[in-house]
Structure 1
Amino acid sequence: MLGKPTHYLYNKRAQYELDIRVGIDCHNNSRPLVDTKYGKLLGKTNSVKATDRQVHVFLGIPFAKPPVGELRFAPPQSPEPWSDIRDASQRPPMCIQSMASLDDLKKYFLGDFPPPRLSEDCLILNIYTPADRVQNSLLTVMVFIHGGAFIIGGANMFDGSALSAYENIVVVSIQYRLGILGFFSTGKKEAPGNYGYLDQVAALQWVQENIKDFGGDPLSVTLFGESAGAVSVAAQVVSPLSKGLFHRAITESGTAMMPAVFAKNQKELLIFQLLVAKASGCHLVPIVSCLKKKTAEELLEISNAMDFIPLPARVDGVLFPKLPEELWACKEVNDVALMTGVN
């Protein structure tokens, strides 16, 4: 669903997260250390209620360079390696997004939640892996893409500890650019669009390269998501850039063939360019250079001004050679098992 979240959905999600987090106990004296191709990561250990199993957790792992400066409105680039041990025990910031929409969600939750940290430097993933796995064994991997209408959400909203412990799998939750930063496009080289989807591809590539270090099997990856996350999964199923990066897919309440997910032509893109121009105060012709000069705080203000207006993806000839419905009709999709449903 890409519209306003329903009371039922978010009450259910709040109870699910509460059920998991009440039983978590962090053991700082047994912090796991993993050596990846980019550097060493020091995580933490969680306990999950209703089981005596523990889970090793690694948070805020960068799978791409920070998409700032000249990398704003550009495809993601491989991350830089680091020499020191990187602390992976703290929740990372979420991507720049509409605080107005986030505030609207608070009424569906009990308790007083502090505002989340937001940053352009947000291309990270979180990993949850059983602490007691058999050494040198490889477990099935599930990669989760969060929902939120492509304008809100983040990996921190979904703790994978329980799923990892109960099902004996490695769980990965990823972040991707949202709103203007994730999907604004002029349809030209200066701002080709689809950055959020490309971020997802980059995260899946990182998983293929590094998940063995966490006990995961790169040849057994299931991609799943809910709402806009389900739309994302369906989009990756039809994208040639995702070929071989996952082997099964699960979509919950979303499909890439939903109306308004893709702009059908340049005229539809222009409508959204005008909306962004109005919210940002930028003129239409130099809009990309104008937006690149905006600070993160100014981009947050623009996101708040646009509120609940998701920007569409577009056929770019590379990530999406055709519209999803055309790719399905021509059977030009990735050969993966697909499960779909609603929640």
Structure 2
Amino acid sequence: MERAVRVESGVLVGVVCLLLACPATATGPEVAQPEVDTTLGRVRGRQVGVKGTDRLVNVFLGIPFAQPPLGPDRFSAPHPAQPWEGVRDASTAPPMCLQDVESMNSSRFVLNGKQQIFSVSEDCLVLNVYSPAEVPAGSGRPVMVWVHGGALITGAATSYDGSALAAYGDVVVVTVQYRLGVLGFFSTGDEHAPGNQGFLDVVAALRWVQENIAPFGGDLNCVTVFGGSAGGSIISGLVLSPVAAGLFHRAITQSGVITTPGIIDSHPWPLAQKIANTLACSSSSPAEMVQCLQQKEGEELVLSKKLKNTIYPLTVDGTVFPKSPKELLKEKPFHSVPFLMGVNNHEFSWLIPRILEALSFSMSSSIDPVLLRRSNLPG
């Protein structure tokens, strides 16, 4: 962490605005079906135009970077994806990770509308790649890897269209999906469910980038990771975690850091017991608890009304996070990379309606709805 710079919100808001495709950045008919060879197999994407520029962008959606985390692999670290034969279609939006879709729509307080909703699935460990069409393989364009926010319980990679950023910034953009909520961050505090599986999904995606981004025109030695809100917390966690060493070279956090209260926990067992008891699983031992939860339908885990307002934090597990973030910052074992941090005015104010709802308050006329819409970008 060579430097930390406070910048005006407009700089980083502009980057996110490009990712949000504001408005209608990816337009025009498809003019080609580009194909690229990865280490796992060949993929076929689509080509789009971008409003305001003559540049075309090659778009590849839903490329797997890990095996589906199903059955006994639920709550486990991700395993490398398996190769495929033939050409894999990468032209349509993939399912987003299993989540409560209504919670995702809470962003209406920010955007004065609803987010685009995709289908949901536990088989969701995929990423999207956006590359300027004229960029040949091995040309070495900078790479920007986006980690979405959503309080670690909602969000999707495809909600953020990287076409405009790729075209205007002359970069290769990668947007990543990771497991959310109980599926992404449940922990018993031991080997049965160490926790941090959603965080490790992001690490696995960065490994994929190192192995595969060159054929898309990206420079594997010039990778910037960036994210907003909970995604920003994950980014700052990457800077501190030894498991992410060498996988990126710059970092940007927008409205989120891992030292945010409640984002990481050193004592996950009480929450694990609460989850197990709510879902009628034994909490007498971690092994029995995990086995029971692995047999539940995924929808039952994420849609339980009794767990609706539950926060699922990262875990100080001794490996991914050897110590608490504050201890790691004091001891300075973190990765020495340029690190840009951004904040907004009225930070976190868009969450006020959800907080009031959780506390059984109604919206007050004293809370300016314009302020709620304009104060922050979605988590």
TM-score when scaled to structure 1?
Answer: 0.90
1:148 and 2:150 matched: yes
Q: Distance in 2 between matches of 1:180 and 1:121?
A: 15
Q: Distance in 2 between matches of 1:58 and 1:46?
A: 11
Q: Distance in 2 between matches of 1:320 and 1:114?
A: 34
- Alpha-carbon distance change, 20 to 43 in structure 1, aligned in 2, over 3 angstroms: farther
The one-letter amino acid of 1:306's match is: L
Say which is worse superposed, 272-281 or 77-86, in terms of deviation: 272-281
Asked if 1 retains the 8 angstrom alpha-carbon contact of 2:61 and 2:90, the reply is yes
Tell me the equivalent position of 2:330: 329
Say which is worse superposed, 51-60 or 131-140, in terms of deviation: 131-140
Counterparts in 2 of 1:11-90, with a 5 A limit? Answer: 17=20, 19-21=22-24, 23-27=26-30, 29-90=31-92
- Alpha-carbon distance change, 234 to 18 in structure 1, aligned in 2, over 3 angstroms: closer
Give how far 1:22 is off. 5.2
Asked if 1 retains the 8 angstrom alpha-carbon contact of 2:97 and 2:120, the reply is yes
Say what the alpha-carbon RMSD is for the aligned residues: 2.2
Q: Distance in 1 between matches of 2:153 and 2:83?
A: 30
Asked if 1 retains the 8 angstrom alpha-carbon contact of 2:105 and 2:115, the reply is no
Deviations 1:291-338 (A, max 9, x none): 100123323423x54223221222222111111111111110011110
Asked if 1 retains the 8 angstrom alpha-carbon contact of 2:251 and 2:339, the reply is yes
Three-state SS of the structure 1 residue aligned to 2:22 is helix
**Identity across aligned pairs (percent)?**
45
Asked if 2 retains the 8 angstrom alpha-carbon contact of 1:14 and 1:109, the reply is no
1:297 and 2:293 matched: no
The one-letter amino acid of 1:336's match is: V
Higher RCO by CA contacts (8 Å cutoff, separation 6 or greater): 2
Tell me the equivalent position of 1:342: 343
Three-state SS of the structure 2 residue aligned to 1:91 is coil
- Spell out structure 1 runs of 4+ moving beyond 4 A: 12-16, 106-115
Q: Distance in 2 between matches of 1:196 and 1:216?
A: 25
Counterparts in 2 of 1:206-285, with a 5 A limit? Answer: 206-265=208-267, 269-285=268-284
Deviations 1:56-113 (A, max 9, x none): 0000000000000111111100000000210000000011112231243346556677
Give how far 1:17 is off. 3.3
Say which is worse superposed, 188-197 or 278-287, in terms of deviation: 278-287
Tell me the equivalent position of 1:194: 196
The one-letter amino acid of 1:309's match is: T
Give how far 1:13 is off. 7.4
Tell me the equivalent position of 2:347: none
- Alpha-carbon distance change, 16 to 70 in structure 1, aligned in 2, over 3 angstroms: closer
Q: Distance in 2 between matches of 1:79 and 1:126?
A: 15
1:319 and 2:320 matched: yes
- Alpha-carbon distance change, 93 to 214 in structure 1, aligned in 2, over 3 angstroms: same
Give how far 1:201 is off. 0.6
Three-state SS of the structure 2 residue aligned to 1:30 is coil
Give how far 1:243 is off. 0.7
- Alpha-carbon distance change, 130 to 291 in structure 1, aligned in 2, over 3 angstroms: same
Q: Distance in 1 between matches of 2:21 and 2:328?
A: 40
- Alpha-carbon distance change, 15 to 101 in structure 1, aligned in 2, over 3 angstroms: farther
Asked if 2 retains the 8 angstrom alpha-carbon contact of 1:20 and 1:162, the reply is no
The one-letter amino acid of 2:200's match is: L
The one-letter amino acid of 1:212's match is: A
Give how far 1:15 is off. 10
Q: Mind listing any 5+ residue stretches in structure 2 that lack a counterpart?
A: 1-12, 345-379
Asked if 2 retains the 8 angstrom alpha-carbon contact of 1:151 and 1:308, the reply is no
Asked if 2 retains the 8 angstrom alpha-carbon contact of 1:92 and 1:122, the reply is yes
Say which is worse superposed, 316-325 or 234-243, in terms of deviation: 316-325
Three-state SS of the structure 2 residue aligned to 1:190 is coil
Asked if 2 retains the 8 angstrom alpha-carbon contact of 1:170 and 1:215, the reply is yes
Say which is worse superposed, 306-315 or 50-59, in terms of deviation: 306-315
Three-state SS of the structure 2 residue aligned to 1:21 is coil
- Alpha-carbon distance change, 14 to 278 in structure 1, aligned in 2, over 3 angstroms: farther
Q: Distance in 1 between matches of 2:262 and 2:85?
A: 44
